[in-house]
Amino acid sequence: KNQVEQSPQSLIILEGKNCTLQCNYTVSPFSNLRWYKQDTGRGPVSLTIMTFSENTKSNGRYTATLDADTKQSSLHITASQLSDSASYICVVSAMHDYKLSFGAGTTVTVRA
């Protein structure tokens, strides 16, 4: 069964600090991996997408990495801002049927 595991479940950081979120998956055959940001009370919004051949993708202060051999991805947030407080969801797509497997998300709280 295709699975996506995220860690930690939640974290609190001070404004201006960096943090890294982890995602491990067992989806096979692998097509692509996306990180979504979900603000409280809103729908998820795509941050990055990576295919098998890509190992790094940036979107402003967000940098995602992918190791397709170990089936791991990380999302690094640099110089966090209060607006980064949200849930970050790792989403993996399987080849052929393109069905999405969602992680449960990591809730990030940025404190002033």
**Interface pick for another protein out of 4, 27, 66, 86 (rule CB under 8 A):** 4
Q: Considering the complex, what minimum distance in angstroms separates the CB of residue 5 from another protein?
A: 10
DSSP-H helix ranges across the chain: none
Query: Judged by CB under 8 A, does residue 44 bind another protein?
Result: yes
Indicate whether 33 belongs to the interface with another protein (CB under 8 A). Answer: no
* Cα atoms in the Cβ-side hemisphere of radius 13 Å centred on 41: 0
Instruction: Name the one range near another protein by CB under 8 A: 14-22, 59-67, 77-85, 92-100.
Output: 92-100
Find the binder of another protein among 29, 41, 53, 60 (CB under 8 A).
41
Interface with another protein, residue 31, by CB under 8 A: yes
Residues 57 and 51: their CA atoms lie apart, in Å, by 10
Rg (CA), the chain: 13
Residue among 71, 87, 78, 84 nearest 35 (CA) = 87
How buried is residue 41: exposed, middle or buried, by Cβ count under 10 Å (0-12/13-18/19+)? Answer: exposed
* Residue placing its CB nearer to another protein in the complex, 74 or 107: 107
Q: Which residues of this chain interact with another protein, rule CB under 8 A?
A: 4, 31-32, 34, 41-46, 49, 89, 93, 98-105
